Amino acid sequence: MTAGSAGRRGGVHGARVLAAACIAALLSACSAPTLVDRGSYLADTGHPARGADSRVRFLVLHYTESDDQRARFVLTHDEVSAHYLVPSHPSYRDGKPVVLQLVPESERAWHAGVSDWQGTTELNAASIGIEIVNAGPLDAPANRTWQAYPPDQVEAVVKLAQDIVARYRIPPTRVVAHSDIAPQRKIDPGPAFPWQALARAGVGAWPDDATVAARLAGRAPGDPAEVRGLQLKLARYGYDVATDGVLDARTRRVFAAFQMHFRPADYSGNPDAQTDAIAQALLDKYFPDAGVPITAPAAAAGHGTTP
């Protein structure tokens, strides 16, 4: 054997040994546990359980009732927070709106407060909160107008919300207003918020017009509705409302919150036929087994008790 042939054989052998070592290392890496050094101990994260899910089950939308600068300060320095803040006019990078993330989604933000929706209370622990820069009401309650949401801001809210509901598989009836989950003390994001536009983009619930018309069942939209029947419908949909048939201040606030969301042209809190038909249409669409029948126009004796 010549020196040259011996060298070539040695080179081939060395290459084979190196290749075998690389393969062994790869196999070892694939089978070895993933160890995370946490200072005083190591955590083996190589055995993920199948029996787990996300803490996030709801998406709650708010307005800031302030300008951009004030909103950023309050949400980062005060004892209130949200996962995201959408500016009044978001900047754009590469054609995409920029939103501010203030709290990691894995952590609880302090945005919902005392709240209740579909039997879940204290929604901070189970939701993502989006604050939207908006002044809210612009004048006195007796003649109230509301600040509009600019198209570029709505676009940013839609894109952000679409991503969140897709990743966490949040159903339409769990995309809610702060006023839905806390109707006794909150009115945001107010009647100017474009809920129907969000629903058309796949975010949140909205009734079908044809079903609403059918559920009116010959009634005029302004005809009175039976109080307890409407209470039962809204309770089934998710609101924290009494079902005693009494039209007191608390029930009116719940009715008004529902109307702000689904019939913003009139959020007086009066139990009318159109509100009743919208509620039933939502149950037909999202809770077809709810079992709450539509009610006939209420007689004067059964209309409930005003405060």
What residues are labeled active site?
131
CA angle 256–182–167, rounded 5-degree value: 110
- CA-CA distance, 14 to 121, in Å (whole number)? 67
Strand partners, 133: none
List CB contacts of 253: < 8 A, sequence separation 6 or more.
Answer: 183, 184, 269
Distance of CA 280 to the CA centre of its chain: 22
Q: Which of 122, 201, 128 is nearest to 170 (CA)?
A: 128
Q: Count Cβ atoms within 10 A of the Cβ of residue 160 and give its class: 0-12 exposed, 13-18 middle, 19 or more buried.
A: buried
CB 72 within 8 A of CB 85: yes
- State the Cα–Cα distance between residues 295 and 232, nearest whole angstrom: 11
Query: What is the residue whose two structure tokens read 């008004």?
Result: 256
What phi and psi values does residue 211 have, to the nearest 5 degrees? -70, -40
Q: Are 106 and 52 in contact (CB under 8 A)?
A: no
Q: Is 270:255 a contact under the CB 8 Å cutoff?
A: yes
DSSP letters for 216-256: HTT--TTSB--HHHHHHHHHHHT-----SS---HHHHHHHH
